[in-house]
Amino acid sequence: MFGWRARIGVLLPPGNPTVEPELWGMAPAGVSLHFGRLETPPSVGKAGLAEGMEERTRAYRDGLAGPTAALSQVQPAVVVLAHTASSYALGFGKDQALADQIAGLAGAPALLAAHAVRAALQHLNVKRLALGTPYPEAISRQGKAYWEAAGFDIVGYHRLEDVKDIYAENEERAYLLARRADASGADAVLLSGTGLPTVAVLEMLERDLGKPVISSNQACLWQALRLAGVREAIPGFGRLLRET
């Protein structure tokens, strides 16, 4: 039986090609991952493009019911919304209603990507944060405001430039983003966004920067495992998973 240790349900944007391989690559034995793709009307534009991203984010929230109810049929221990910008759009403290909505639809505990990141930062006792984002300017500002409202001191910040399609980005660009976002006083670096490939360079970044580096997908898996009652050190993907 797949998922004999835990089954984790994941809701993700329809065009996101990054979440599934990254989560599967990190998942420990006995844990299965089950995915539901969110619904968007054609009018919100092509997935991955900066244009229309805010409209697509709203559409994801409006179209939760069908994919979440379908995903609930595998009886997951927890359901993750793998879309950090959904929380940024709502604002810190105002996104709990979204988690509650998903939990009600799924009949299981729900985890938002931003909530997973916050739990990871608190676990690592991070106070001063360097933030790297791949988003358009308006959404990046929302992200910065979210983490400031969450009580973190943003001492380093960089937005990835010339992003035409977030789903066409690569680990090298994520590595450079983290290096540019970092500041000497930062306790950790956060690479936000589940569509940006990150997990292959987290260990390298931590060695080079000398501090923890958190990414949305890494944090989502870490906190989902904790909520599902699975505690296991997973090497190769940064301090957060390695020292669990």
Question: Which of 226, 163, 147 lies closest to 197, judged by CA?
Answer: 163
Sign of the dihedral defined by the CA atoms of residues 156, 209, 222, 216, in that order: positive
For residue 28, being part of any structural domain is answered with yes
Burial (CB count <10 Å: 0-12, 13-18, 19+), residue 97:
exposed
Instruction: Tell me if 182 is assigned to some domain.
Output: yes
Q: Does 71 share its domain with 32?
A: yes
Residue at 52 is within a domain:
yes
pLDDT category of residue 40 using cuts at 50, 70 and 90:
confident
Report the number of distinct structural domains present in the chain.
Answer: 2
Q: Are residues 153 and 105 part of one domain?
A: no
Per residue in 184-232, pLDDT (tens digit) is: 999 999 999 999 999 999 999 999 999 999 999 999 999 999 999 999 9
Whether residues 41 and 90 share a domain: the answer is yes
Whether residues 45 and 15 share a domain: the answer is yes
Residues 127, 187 within the same domain:
yes
Residues 25 and 11 in one domain: yes
- Asked if residue 189 and residue 124 are part of one domain, the reply reads yes
Measured distance CA(81)–CA(102) in Å, rounded:
8
Joined tokens for residue 22: 């990254």
Residue 1 domain-assigned?
no
Please tell me whether residues 168 and 223 are part of one structural domain: no
Q: Is the pLDDT of residue 7 over 60?
A: yes
CATH number at residue 63: 3.40.50.12500
Give the angle 12-17-23 at the CA atoms, nearest 5°. Answer: 70
Where are the alpha helices (H) located in 150-190, listed in sequence order?
171-181
Cβ neighbourhood burial of 109 (10 Å; 0-12, 13-18, 19+): middle
For residue 66, is it within any domain? Answer: yes
Q: Are residues 209 and 124 in the same domain?
A: yes
Domain hosting 11: range is: 6-113+217-242
Q: Whole-prediction pTM value?
A: 0.95
Same domain, residue pair 109 and 60: yes
Q: Are residues 11 and 109 in the same domain?
A: yes
Mean pLDDT computed over every residue of the chain:
94
Per residue in 52-85, is it b (16+ CB within 10 Å) or e — as a string? Answer: bbbebbebbbeebeebbeebbebebbbbbbbbbb
How far is it, in rounded angstroms, from Cα 230 to Cα 227? 8
pLDDT of residue 52: 64
The CATH number of the domain holding residue 192 is 3.40.50.1860
DSSP characters over 8-75: EEEEE-TT--SHHHHHHHHPPTTEEEEEEEPP--GGG--TTBSTTHHHHHHHHHHT-HHHHHHHGGG-
**107-112: average pLDDT:** 98
Is residue 38 located within the same domain as residue 60? yes
pLDDT at 24 over 90: yes
